[in-house]
């Protein structure tokens, strides 16, 4: 979408940040107004992450005005706050394609632009990456500035504090900007705070401060320590500096992040400093768009909406798996007072809003701290409680050591409710939940379930909660085929599959996992194939696998997970362990990252839609049509009996 020149006269002239650097104060403020209107207009048509970007308009303009990007590195934490950055760095005319198939990514992406210095989809990574870049510049003796921009939510992640601790110790030439968009650290923003920030970052003050260090260095240690503490406590009276000063950073702020002149002048002053610096900028999420200011959570990520009223277009859709989990959690909590609900900063996304309201004393949002969430759950389990960790598949990856070391080895009773499993559409590769079968299947004691529909999801959650050990239920983004849940919860036998369609043809048996069951049933109609809803990835139903091998000529496995080490691999291992040789076709996510687009587009691209699955099976049959193994069923009557699990 090309911007309208009559509506965005100044923004139209900005093709890269160099066009911003010569602007005066009036130009920068006009650009901020136009950029805000442009972001609202385009996002109202395309959807996307709106409120975070509205809060960083002035900060983004100031950064590109003061720093020589991309030579100077800007490292944004996650991509939600970087929409204005994308618009100002040569991607304005492409912006209407954001999060769409073949269009701009909704996150930072190194292959998309030289200005995207570090790809970011998960939070709390900016400080570590920026520190690495700053150290690299020093090693290579290159003169450049490195700036990390982190939101206050991301600062709840332990990785961010690890980087802060390391940066202060290294005395690295790094500027960290805290975009405090919830005023969770300090509300004292105004003329006095801005004045103090300008003074404290100015040349006169820093000269005196550095000079005082030289003078004090000649004093006895007790006197020198007293003087240092006096300075920190005096600053601590008006600003939350002590923590960052103790970590080795020179702290400035808080300042008003929507005052372009203040931000520009402060950045110019801080650019002249060296070593680790910390600028605290307070912004308002959704700034300049009243509906987003009033409800920044709703407008964090939105579908198309009316830019005049803020009314969001609501497309009629089926019941989501997240809603299924939400209702089950509350129903189960009513029956079991030991149940505790935990989420790492995804209350709305993971469906814990109702639970947080009805069972507030048993609800814990631990912040963007996935590792902590799992070990916290382990501690609860040690004391006989029943923790349920609601977490996206892509975020569970971040706590792998905790799954093994803190839960599995100690054989603790924890349930993972894994949302957004499989391909996730517009969020793309950074949020794809396509690895959990593989990385969970190898963990001793782990039970892994994948529902084929909404009713089965509810029963699997109940089964996992009842199981006395580590269990997981993984379900996709969006809704299922529309199978209504029963209020009564049914316990499923662990490790038992369900025969969905029995074919008289006996040529092809499709073993489908989770989301792929519906596709398998559609394909089976035209191929006259047998369909099994495997239900359990671990323990795999060996008796069902062996029965299908005994009675059919080709086994096909279908999963919305990477093929390597996934559910199909579990079937292959079962056949190999029992010395069975039969043609097998494993269908799943290929060994590459799948770019953003709709979920249907992504599935079609990799051949996991109905058309692609049918074509793959037909190709396999054609390849082996002259093979003896496809002219008669494989005789495995002599194979040892498999114990029922």
pLDDT value for 183: 39
- pLDDT tens sequence across 324-340: 999 999 999 999 999 99
Residue at which a domain ends, from 294, 329, 353: 294
412, 378 Cβ separation under 8 angstroms: yes
Backbone φ and ψ for 412, nearest 5 degrees, come out as -95, 155
Do 33 and 90 fall within a single domain? Answer: yes
Look at residue 191 and tell me whether its pLDDT is greater than 80.
no
Do 240 and 339 fall within a single domain? Answer: no
Catalytic residue list: 285, 370, 398
Do 556 and 600 fall within a single domain? Answer: yes
Q: Cα-Cα-Cα-Cα dihedral of 112, 113, 115, 116, to 10°? A: 10
H helices of 237-337, in order, are 242-246, 260-271, 290-294, 321-335
Do 577 and 461 fall within a single domain? Answer: no
pLDDT value for 171: 81
pLDDT value for 578: 97
Which CATH number does the domain housing residue 585 bear?
3.40.50.920
DSSP string, 191-213: HHHHHHHHHHHSHHHHHHHHHHH
316 vs 296 pLDDT, higher one: 296
In a domain, 312, yes or no: no
367, 153 Cβ separation under 8 angstroms: yes
Do 374 and 443 fall within a single domain? Answer: yes
- Name residue 387's beta-bridge partners: 340
- Say which range, 13-17, 72-76, 95-99, 199-203, has the weakest mean pLDDT: 199-203
Q: 217: which residues sit within 8 A by CB, 6+ positions away?
A: 224
- pLDDT tens sequence across 372-401: 999 999 999 999 999 999 999 999 999 999
Do 55 and 122 fall within a single domain? Answer: yes
Do 46 and 115 fall within a single domain? Answer: yes
Q: Taking residues 176-205, what's their average pLDDT?
A: 59
Q: Taking residues 431-453, what's their average pLDDT?
A: 97
Q: Taking residues 229-244, what's their average pLDDT?
A: 58
Do 280 and 373 fall within a single domain? Answer: no
Q: Taking residues 45-68, what's their average pLDDT?
A: 94
Percent of the chain with pLDDT over 70: 86
Say which DSSP state 108 is in.
Answer: B
Q: Residue 422 and residue 321: Cα distance in Å, rounded? A: 13
Q: Three-class SS of residue 51?
A: helix
Instruction: Give the pair of three-digit tokens for residue 93.
Output: 């005319």
604 vs 631 pLDDT, higher one: 604
Q: Taking residues 405-421, what's their average pLDDT?
A: 97
Using pLDDT thresholds of 50, 70 and 90, give the confidence band for residue 437. very high
Look at residue 290 and tell me whether its pLDDT is greater than 70.
yes
Q: Residue 19 and residue 428: Cα distance in Å, rounded? A: 31
In a domain, 636, yes or no: no
Instruction: Find, among 77, 75, 109, 86, the residue nearest to 39 by Cα.
Output: 86
247, 241 Cβ separation under 8 angstroms: no
Do 91 and 206 fall within a single domain? Answer: yes
Q: Residue 416 and residue 389: Cα distance in Å, rounded? A: 5
Percent of the chain with pLDDT over 90: 72
- Say which range, 122-131, 230-239, 290-299, has the weakest mean pLDDT: 230-239
> How far is Cα of residue 142 from the mean position of the Cα atoms in its chain?
33
H helices of 346-453, in order, are 353-358, 370-382, 393-396, 400-401, 436-441
Q: Cα-Cα-Cα-Cα dihedral of 488, 350, 473, 420, to 10°? A: 130
448, 538 Cβ separation under 8 angstroms: yes
Say which DSSP state 302 is in.
Answer: B
Q: Residue 149 and residue 301: Cα distance in Å, rounded? A: 20
- pLDDT tens sequence across 555-584: 999 999 999 999 999 999 999 999 999 999
Q: Helices (H) and strands (E) in the chain — how many of each?
A: 24, 17
pLDDT value for 301: 83
**Domain enclosing residue 386, as ranges:** 321-474
**Is there a cis peptide before residue 539, judged by omega within 30 degrees of 0?**
yes
Name, of 217-221, 315-319, 491-495, the range with top average pLDDT: 491-495
98, 48 Cβ separation under 8 angstroms: yes
Residue 72 vs residues 249, 354, 545, 563: alpha-carbon distances, Å: 20, 45, 57, 40
Q: Residue 254 and residue 178: Cα distance in Å, rounded? A: 9
Instruction: Give the pair of three-digit tokens for residue 127.
Output: 């400080």
- pLDDT tens sequence across 110-167: 999 999 999 988 889 999 999 999 999 999 999 999 999 998 678 888 899 899 999 9
pLDDT value for 623: 86
Look at residue 641 and tell me whether its pLDDT is greater than 60.
no
Which CATH number does the domain housing residue 416 bear?
3.40.50.970
Look at residue 645 and tell me whether its pLDDT is greater than 70.
no
Q: Residue 313 and residue 492: Cα distance in Å, rounded? A: 39
Backbone φ and ψ for 492, nearest 5 degrees, come out as -90, 140
Residue at which a domain ends, from 277, 294, 311: 294
278, 200 Cβ separation under 8 angstroms: no
Q: Residue 411 and residue 34: Cα distance in Å, rounded? A: 57
pLDDT value for 221: 67
pLDDT value for 205: 53
Q: Taking residues 447-455, what's their average pLDDT?
A: 98
Residue at which a domain ends, from 418, 441, 474: 474
- Name residue 320's beta-bridge partners: 479
**pTM for the full model?**
0.84
Number of domains composing the chain: 3
Radius of gyration (C-alpha) of the chain in whole angstroms: 28
Q: Taking residues 584-589, what's their average pLDDT?
A: 98
pLDDT value for 313: 75
Do 264 and 359 fall within a single domain? Answer: no
In a domain, 315, yes or no: no
Q: Residue 447 and residue 452: Cα distance in Å, rounded? A: 16
Q: Residue 606 and residue 599: Cα distance in Å, rounded? A: 11
Look at residue 454 and tell me whether its pLDDT is greater than 90.
yes
Q: Residue 376 and residue 387: Cα distance in Å, rounded? A: 9
pLDDT value for 137: 95
Name, of 46-50, 121-125, 280-284, 437-441, the range with top average pLDDT: 437-441
Instruction: Find, among 449, 415, 420, the residue nearest to 329 by Cα.
Output: 415
Using pLDDT thresholds of 50, 70 and 90, give the confidence band for residue 218. low
pLDDT value for 3: 46
Q: Taking residues 269-290, what's their average pLDDT?
A: 92
Q: Taking residues 170-184, what's their average pLDDT?
A: 82
In a domain, 358, yes or no: yes
Look over the chain and give the mean of its residue pLDDT values, rounded to a whole number. Answer: 88
Q: Taking residues 6-29, what's their average pLDDT?
A: 94
Do 175 and 270 fall within a single domain? Answer: yes
In a domain, 78, yes or no: yes
Q: Taking residues 393-422, what's their average pLDDT?
A: 97
519 vs 505 pLDDT, higher one: 519
In a domain, 521, yes or no: yes
Around Cβ 401, how many Cβ atoms within 10 Å? 11
Do 284 and 404 fall within a single domain? Answer: no
594 vs 207 pLDDT, higher one: 594
pLDDT value for 243: 80
Using pLDDT thresholds of 50, 70 and 90, give the confidence band for residue 297. confident
In a domain, 644, yes or no: no
Element (H, E) at 511: strand 508-512
Q: Residue 31 and residue 25: Cα distance in Å, rounded? A: 10
In a domain, 488, yes or no: no
């Amino acid at each position: 979408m090309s911007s309208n020149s009559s509506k965005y006269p100044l923004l139209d002239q900005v093709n890269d940040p160099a066009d911003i650097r010569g602007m005066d104060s009036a130009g920068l403020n006009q650009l901020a107004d136009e950029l805000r209107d442009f972001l609202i207009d385009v996002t109202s048509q395309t959807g996307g992450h709106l409120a975070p970007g509205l809060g960083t308009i002035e900060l983004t303009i100031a950064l590109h005005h003061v720093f020589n990007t991309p030579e100077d590195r800007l490292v944004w934490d996650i991509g939600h706050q970087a929409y204005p950055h994308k618009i100002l760095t040569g991607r304005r005319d492409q912006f209407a394609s954001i999060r769409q198939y073949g269009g701009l990514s909704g996150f930072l992406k190194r292959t998309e632009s030289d200005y995207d210095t570090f790809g970011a989809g998960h939070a709390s990574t900016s400080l570590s990456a920026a520190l690495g870049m700053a150290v690299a510049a020093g090693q290579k003796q290159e003169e450049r500035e490195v700036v990390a921009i982190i939101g206050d939510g991301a600062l709840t992640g332990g990785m961010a504090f690890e980087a802060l601790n390391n940066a202060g110790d290294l005395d690295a030439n790094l500027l960290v900007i805290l975009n405090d968009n919830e005023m969770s650290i300090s509300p004292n923003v105004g003329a006095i705070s801005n004045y103090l920030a300008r003074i404290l970052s100015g040349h006169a003050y820093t000269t005196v401060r550095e000079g005082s260090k030289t003078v004090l260095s000649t004093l006895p240690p007790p006197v020198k320590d007293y003087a240092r503490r006096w300075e920190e406590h005096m600053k601590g009276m008006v600003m939350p500096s002590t923590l960052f000063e103790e970590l080795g950073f020179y702290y400035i702020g808080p300042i008003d992040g929507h005052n372009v002149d203040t931000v520009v002048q402060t950045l110019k002053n801080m650019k002249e400093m060296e070593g680790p610096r910390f600028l605290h900028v307070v912004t308002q999420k959704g700034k300049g768009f009243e509906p987003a200011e009033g409800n920044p959570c709703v407008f964090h990520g939105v579908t198309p909406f009316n830019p005049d009223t803020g009314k969001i277009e609501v497309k009629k859709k089926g019941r989501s798996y997240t809603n299924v989990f939400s209702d089950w959690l509350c129903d189960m909590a009513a029956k079991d007072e030991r149940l505790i609900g935990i989420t790492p900063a995804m209350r709305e996304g993971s469906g814990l809003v109702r639970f947080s309201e009805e069972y507030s004393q048993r609800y814990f949002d631990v912040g963007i701290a996935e590792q902590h969430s799992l070990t916290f759950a382990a501690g609860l389990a040690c004391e006989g409680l029943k923790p349920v960790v609601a977490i996206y598949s892509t975020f569970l990856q971040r706590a792998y050591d905790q799954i093994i070391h803190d839960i599995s080895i100690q054989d603790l009773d924890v349930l993972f409710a894994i949302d957004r499993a499989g391909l996730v559409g517009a969020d793309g590769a950074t949020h794809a939940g396509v690895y959990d079968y593989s990385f969970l299947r190898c963990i001793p004691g782990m039970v892994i379930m994948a529902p084929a529909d909404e009713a089965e999801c509810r029963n699997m959650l109940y089964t996992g909660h009842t199981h006395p050990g580590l269990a997981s239920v993984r379900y996709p983004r969006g809704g299922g085929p529309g199978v209504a849940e029963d209020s009564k919860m049914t316990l499923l036998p662990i490790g038992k599959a369900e025969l969905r369609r029995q074919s008289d043809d006996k040529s092809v048996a499709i073993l489908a996992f989770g989301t792929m069951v519906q596709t398998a049933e559609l394909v089976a109609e035209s191929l006259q194939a047998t369909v099994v809803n495997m239900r359990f990835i671990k323990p795999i139903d060996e008796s069902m696998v062996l029965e299908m091998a005994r009675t059919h000529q080709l086994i096909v496995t279908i999963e919305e997970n990477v093929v390597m080490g996934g559910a199909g691999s579990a079937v292959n291992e079962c056949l190999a362990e029992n010395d069975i040789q039969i043609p097998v076709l494993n269908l799943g996510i290929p060994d590459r990252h799948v770019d953003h687009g709709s979920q249907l587009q992504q599935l079609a691209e990799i051949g996991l839609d109905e058309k692609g699955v049918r074509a793959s099976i037909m190709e396999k049959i054609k390849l082996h049509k002259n093979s003896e193994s496809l002219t008669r069923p494989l005789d495995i009557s002599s194979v040892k009996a498999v114990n029922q699990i």
